[in-house]
Every structure is written in structure tokens, then in C-alpha cells.
Amino acid sequence: MIAKIMKKIKRNPIASFIVDVLVIVAAALVLSLIIKTFLIRSFFIPSGSMMDTLQIDDRIIVNELVPDLVALNRGDVVVFKDPGGWLYAEPEQVESRGLVGLGDWFMEAFGLSAADSSQHLVKRVIGVGGDHVICCDTEGKLTINGVPITEPYILEGVNPSDKEFDVTVPDNMFWVMGDNRSNSEDSRFHGDLPSKGFVPKDSVVGRAFVLSWPFERWAWLDNYPDVFKNVPNN
């Protein structure tokens, strides 16, 4: 029966074309599901808390193998779900137009872009499990496990932190801060929540490794290993 149907389809060029298109679409959907589930995903940036590294409405590509299969390190730019109480209200969704809108539609249609990007947060990992992070030393620098760090990724003209803190990061947790320290409600401002300002490993979606849009600013996202190379592990 199936063989007869296939013979009829092959004899009809229109039917054959439709079948080919359906097979290609099905294969693309399966591939996109595999990629979304296990490999990468795209997010847009809804706020200015990571300036100048990331601008509002930038697009980033996120490696979802982190942190389950690949460790998350100090300096990594991380995307995570709200651990609870970080997002006070749902940000207004801005409609994308032109080439960006078309790209968003295509990526969302194939499951590679997050329509709920505004319900995620993007920050930089400063402390990992066991780290003792303090703001600040006599020179105004953060210290991690007693070692002061110079942070070139911070927005020019902004202090490492105007808010003092002294925390020890629990296992399977992260201390995160925005590069625009004067305009980032990050770990420093959520100490009154059950999570104490730390981001649980289970809330992490992945590590952002590429700034993919706009094209003229395409770049790999640096995790600045030299900044943390002298920091001992606790």
C-alpha cells in the first residue's frame, strides 16, 4: 500500500515537491529541538545593566551545556531564570521590526530564540561556590579570597561597587554582578530574599559566548581569565 502511494507521488511533481518540503521542515524542527534542548539558544538583552559589554536589544547566543556538563567560571556572562523576587514586574515587550523582527520570528518558530527573554537575567559571574567576595579594599577594588581584582569590563567611570558587602558563596551557587554597576540590581541588592542574593545552579540557563546582533558589533564574549588568574580556589 505504502509503496503504491509513493509511486503515485513520484509520478506527480507537485506532490513530490510537497513531500520534499514537509520532510525538510520536519528534519529542521527535529534538529532545532535537539539544538534548543542540548546545545544553544538565543536571547535578547532587555536592560542596560551589562553596558558597555551588552546594549539594550542586543542578541546573544547561549551555551546550554553550561553548567551541567561544562563548569561555570568567574568572569563568565551568564543567563539565568529569576531565582525569586529579582524581577518585580514583567517588562514591556517591544516589537522587533525589519530584519531583526524577521530573524526573531524565524528563531522563535524553530525554538532557538526565547520569546520570554525579558523573564531571564544576564549578569557576570564574580564568585563561585566557596569564594569569599568583599567590597571593597582601600583602593576601592573587589577582593575574592583575599585577592584584589581589576575589572576592565566595568562601564567606564563607574565604581566596582558603591554598596559594601562581605559574602561567602555557598556550594552550587553563584554571586553575580552587572558590568554597569551603578545600574544593575544584581546579587548585591537581593540579600533579603531566601536565596540571599546568590543564584542557584539550577536557575542557570547557560553561558553567553557570542554577541550575535547587531552584526557590526558581533563578538565573542570574553570571560577575562587574566582578571581572576591569581584568585585561589577555596
Where do the structural domains in the chain lie, given as residue ranges?
A: 1-38, 42-228
CA 74 vs. chain centroid, Å, equals 14
**Which of the residues 36, 123, 161, 203 is marked catalytic?**
123
Contact between 186 and 127 (Cβ < 8 Å): no
- In whole angstroms, give the CA distance from residue 76 to residue 208: 8
Contact between 125 and 74 (Cβ < 8 Å): yes
59-83 pLDDT per residue, tens: 999 999 999 889 999 999 999 999 9
Residue 31: what residue type?
L
Residue 19: what residue type?
V
pLDDT < 70 stretches in the chain: 1-38, 89-118
What are the distances in angstroms from CA 96 to CA 99, 105, 122? 9, 9, 20
To which H or E segment does residue 25 belong?
Answer: helix 13-38
- In whole angstroms, give the CA distance from residue 150 to residue 162: 16
Residue 91 confidence (pLDDT): 42
What are the distances in angstroms from CA 232 to CA 46, 130, 171? 34, 10, 16
Residue 159: CB atoms within 10 A of its CB come to 14
**Which of the residues 36, 42, 49, 161 is marked catalytic?**
49
Residues 6+ away with beta carbon under 8 Å from 65: 38, 39, 206
The pTM for the full model equals 0.77
Contact between 106 and 53 (Cβ < 8 Å): no
Residue 40 confidence (pLDDT): 82
Superfamily of domain 42-228: Umud Fragment, subunit A (2.10.109.10)
Residue 39 confidence (pLDDT): 74
Nearest alpha-carbon partner for 78 in 89, 64, 90: 64
Whether 163 is a known active-site residue: answer no
Residue 203 confidence (pLDDT): 96
Residue 132 confidence (pLDDT): 99
